[in-house]
Amino acid sequence: MINQREACLGCNRIKSLCLCSHIQKFEIEPLIVQLVHPKEVKRTIGTFRIVKLSLTNSLWIRGWGEDFDQNQKFLNLVNNPHHYPMILYPGEDSLNISALSREELKLKIPEGKRLVIFVIDGTWATAKQMIQRSKTIQSLPKISFEVNTPSIYEFRRQPEKFCLSTVEAVSVLIENLKQKGLCMPQPENAHAQMITSFKVLVQSQVDYLS
């Protein structure tokens, strides 16, 4: 565990490898909420922190025992009548926003409600466990996108070609929402900087392991 006196209070990495200077802060209209597995909170290479630091109006919720049905903060967001909650997760029953036109996608999102997208942060094994243990998460409509570029997360093996790290998934999600007129990052295109920050993290870990 990193000595707290040696760690950056922002990105939680040792100060010589701090990512904060590579972060571009921005906001978007939809609410992105990261559901973070407890193990990921402790990781210094966890990518949820890049999203947290970059997307200033996003939220993150730490799971306890992987069961979000007991988490009041999560339940309040889901049950808010002004929200339209969805879970970012692939599957045949998932709304593939890459394959829909602007008009088709807008028909899927109730007018007058804020789109709230929950993103599970964890390994694919722990992500599945988090879904399986939460009836509420299972009940949420799914949203997904087409993956055209493999993950650059070189030191964590991905089970499938379409699997991305959390920060990559959020960046691609925002780009797809932007193209369909449901999202306009402020400043524009700032979400791409999250990938630049992620590349710095990956390279620092590759250098450390080599």
The second-level CATH assignment, the architecture, of 27-201 is 3-Layer(aba) Sandwich (3.40)
The yes-or-no verdict on residue 128 having pLDDT over 70 is: yes
Q: Of all residues in the chain, what percent carry a pLDDT higher than 70?
A: 89
| Total residue length of the chain | 210
Provide DSSP, 3-23: -TTTB-TTT-SBGGG--GGG-
User: How far is the C-alpha of 168 from the C-alpha of 135, rounded, in Å?
Assistant: 27
The yes-or-no verdict on residue 41 having pLDDT over 80 is: no
CA 159 to chain CA mean position, Å: 18
> What pLDDT digit, counting tens, does each position of 81-118 carry?
999 999 999 888 999 999 999 899 888 889 899 999 99
Confirm if 23 and 55 have CB atoms less than 8 A apart: no
Q: What is the mean pLDDT of the chain?
A: 86
Average pLDDT score over residue span 203-207: 77
Confirm if 61 and 71 have CB atoms less than 8 A apart: yes
Q: Domain extents for the chain?
A: 27-201
Confidence band of 1 (pLDDT split at 50, 70, 90): very low
Phi then psi for residue 200, to 5 deg, are -65, -45
> What pLDDT digit, counting tens, does each position of 4-17 carry?
557 888 888 888 88
3-state secondary structure of 140: coil
Residue 205: count other Cβ atoms within 10 Å of its Cβ.
17
Closest CA to 74 of 150, 135, 153: 135
